[in-house]
Structure 1
Amino acid sequence: MKKGLKLLSLSLVIVLLVASLAGCGSNNQGNQQTQENTPAAPAEKITWKLGHLGNEEHIWNKTALKFAEVVSEKTNGQIEVKVYPNEQLGNEVDTINMVKAGTADMVISGESMQNWAPKAALIAVPYAFKDTDHMRSVIESDLGKEIAGQIEEKVGLKPLYYHVRAPRNLTSSKPISTPADLKGFKMRVPNVPVFVEAWKAAGASPQVLAFSEVFTAIQQGVIDGQENPVDLINSAGFYEVQKYVNETEHVNGFVYVLVGNKQFEGLSPELQQAVLEAAKEAQTYGDGLFEQEVTAITDQLKEKGMEFNTNVDKEAFQKAMEPGIKAILNEEQMDLYQRIVNFQ
């Protein structure tokens, strides 16, 4: 009898134990199924602010919008690039400082970065580049990488792609053909020391002003003229307050489209690669616009009443500016300048 009870008790214990284990297995499977059915958390969206001084119709803005579009496509919308033209985020130097501080993320800039990276001065030293082809060759050579590398190291900005610029020309209300015509001529220059010294040496009275202030300064007679490529002469409406485009062609220059190092390095390797691929596409797109639009813009300026003074003694301007260039460039910059001039 007792033996039977013991066997019965043991059987009940085994049954309960098996049931318990089965229940645990069912719960674990249910938990596993629940986890498998739970959708993955969406990737965190990243928004970059890109500021520049061109207007909505400018090549830089059109290309930046293309870059933003391709970045969104390649990252499935995870990275959104918002473009702010017309110095909406501030002038060029302000925007650089904002990127460094993390309140903006991208900027279009060139020689202004020499305030941090001395080699950036060579982006636009008067008469350093012979023409656009020479400039492109330098940008894509080890010399260009040398400039870009110092910008990345000293400024904290990573160049993604670049825009070559039409030659910088001097605008005025009277024709200017030789340095002798610059006597008493008050002109705006950007905050670039080599520009200031070169134009002083040539006989002008250069004044540093933000680009957004130039139109009103000319209109009110505070300055007599300014110098810029035809695209910015057109987009800023200088044809309303200036009569002549004097073809000094004193600078063949370029600008970089840059992102903050911290912002770029904060991306996953996959997102970094997507941004770099988008930059290559933007480069091709922007180069195409440049070739199409520079001639068209020149024609537009003529239609709007501007006269192009082709009787400019460029050799005289180059010779007049040379002492100012040599006086302002330090040893490191002068070495790079000579290598650019002699680059084949």
Structure 2
Amino acid sequence: MTINWKTPAFAVALAALTAVPAFAQDMTLKLGHLANEENSWHMAAVKFGEELSALTDGRIAVEVFPNESLGKEIDLINGMQLGTVDMTITGESLQNWAPMAALLAVPYAYKSIEHMDEVASGEIGDQIKAQIIEQAQIRPIAYFARGARNLTSNRPITSPSELDGLKMRVPNVPLFVDVWKSLGANPGPMAFSEVFTSLQNGTIDAQENPLALIRSASFYEVQSHVNLTEHVRSWIYLTISEMTWNTLSDADKDAVMEAAARAQAYERELFNDSLAADRAFLEEKGMTFVDVDGPAFQAAAKDAVLANVNDEIKPIVEGLFAQ
């Protein structure tokens, strides 16, 4: 049998075999992060992938790796700079490259979540993002709120004068240690895994963390009060490697930013719901929530904060305290 390669029928058949489907997947972005599957950051990352796939007719997919399964935070940042990782969720760790990233988590710099949003989405936030892009080669495309850190104890504490040498655990962050000393407490670094037992046996009397961690670590079993110090409000960025970003067309860059905006709005809904649920859970377990004199805490912490921030961001922090 002789095949006529020039017949219209063969041409149509050949085109059908070699044509690329309209919805073919062109790219898969690898997004690694440290949170577990139940965390709002993970759910927002999945939402980002769903939205980006829809906006690009399936051409760009996002594969999400929770629980540090793609690497620890610093490893992921390094991978993004080398081009082996596309995306991660990261925050003040970026100050290793971009000093302004320290502004993401300065004690008492933000009086409310609305104040934090104003900074993160405003001129200061733009300066932070620009420096991260330039000096870390990583592009922030959205930000997620983190739960404010609160002080738990076995008695109500409403002002710094009531701390009176309170033995408390803090993370191994010099700024945190110095701030709590300036407030009148007796802080000491300790691994998080040791906190519950230390509270149980009286080695320490207090600790500070967001409500979600107070709940998940079962601190309600060994602490009776949540003092609403809200001493650290902070945010964290959803980021994309600048190397990956530069491979995208303008239309796909627009799609990434739109998907990121939708993921940010979705995460905020989850965040607000989780705050209410965590408080209700802790109250059901018998914890008492205590309002504190926020301005008094902020005033007492100011000098220690300013002594611990670098000269580049100190004028900005002074401005935030003055608001």
**TM-score > 0.5, shorter chain as reference:** yes
Whether 2:123 is the aligned partner of 1:156: answer no
Distance 2:223 2:72 in 1: 23
Work out whether residues 163 and 287 of structure 1, in 8 Å CA contact, stay in contact via their aligned partners in 2.
yes
Q: Which residue of 2 aligns with 1:324?
A: 304
| Partner Cα separation in structure 2 for residue 236 and residue 80 of structure 1 | 35
Distance 1:330 1:217, change over 3 A: same
- Residues 65-109 of structure 1, C-alpha deviations (whole Å, 9 max, x = no match): 211221222233333323344444455444434443445433222
The TM-score, its normalising length taken from structure 2, stands at 0.81
Q: How many residues align?
A: 312
Say if 2:148 and 2:234, in contact at 8 Å, map to a contact too. yes
Helix, strand or coil for the counterpart of 2:170?
A: strand
Matched with 1:339 is 319
Q: Which runs of structure 2 are paired with 1:113-192 in the superposition (5 Å)?
A: 113-179=94-160, 181=163, 183=165, 185-189=167-171, 191=173
In structure 1, the partner of 2:32 is 50
Cα distance, 1:299 vs. partner? 0.9
Distance 2:204 2:66 in 1: 25
Inter-CA distance 88–204: structure 2 relative to 1 (3 Å threshold): farther
Q: Secondary structure at the match of 1:267?
A: coil
Question: Is the CA contact (8 Å cut-off) linking 1:171 and 1:227 kept in structure 2?
Answer: yes
Give the counterpart of 2:294 among 314, 333, 341. 314
Secondary structure of the equivalent of 1:253? strand
- Report whether the alignment pairs 1:40 with 2:22: no
Give the match for residue 292 of structure 1: 273
Alignment of 1:178-257 (within 5 A): 178-179=159-160, 181=163, 183=165, 185-189=167-171, 191=173, 193-204=174-185, 206=187, 214-220=192-198, 225-257=206-238
Shift of 1:183: 2.1
Deviations 1:127-154 (A, max 9, x none): 2122122221222211210111112222
Q: Would the aligned equivalents of 2:30 and 2:65 in 1 still touch at CA under 8 Å?
A: no
**What is the deviation of 1:223?**
6.1
Q: Counterpart of 2:34 in structure 1: which amino acid?
A: H
* CA–CA distance in structure 1, aligned partners of residues 42 and 57 of structure 2: 22
Is the partner of 1:161 in helix, strand or coil?
Answer: strand
Any idea what SS the aligned residue of 1:107 has? strand
The separation in 1 between residues aligned to 2:245 and 2:204, in whole angstroms, is 41
Structure 1, unmatched stretches of 5+, are 1-25
What RMSD in Å do the two structures reach over aligned CA positions? Answer: 3.1
Distance change (3 Å), C-alpha of 1:177 and 1:93: farther
Retained in 1: the 8 A contact 2:142–2:261? yes
One-letter amino acid matched to 1:234 = R
- 1:13 is matched with which residue? none
* C-alpha distance 296-270 of structure 1, shift in aligned 2 (>3 A): same
Q: How much has 1:196 moved relative to structure 2? A: 3.8
Conservation of the 8 A alpha-carbon contact between 1:100 and 1:156: yes
Please tell me whether Structure 1 or Structure 2 has the larger radius of gyration of its CA atoms: 1
Identity %: 39
Paired with 2:224 and 2:75, the residues of 1 have a C-alpha distance of 31
Structure 1 pair 60–37 and aligned structure 2 pair: CA distance change class (3 A): closer
How far apart in 2 are the matches of 1:32 and 1:82? 37
DSSP-derived class of the 2:286 partner: coil
Aligned partners of 2:82 and 2:182: how far apart in 1? 36
1:215, 1:241 within 8 Å by CA — same for their partners in 2? no
Amino acid at match of 1:160: I
Q: Provide the rounded CA distance (Å) in 1 between the counterparts of 2:63 and 2:222.
A: 32
State the Cα distance separating 1:173 from its structure 2 match: 4.8
Shift in Å at residue 281 of structure 1? 1.0
Q: Does the 8 Å CA contact 1:166/1:231 hold for their aligned counterparts? A: yes
Q: CA deviation at 1:333?
A: 0.7
Consecutive unaligned residues of structure 2, counting only runs of 5 or more, are none
Judging changes above 3 Å, is the alpha-carbon distance between structure 1 residues 277 and 208 closer, same or farther for their aligned structure 2 residues? farther
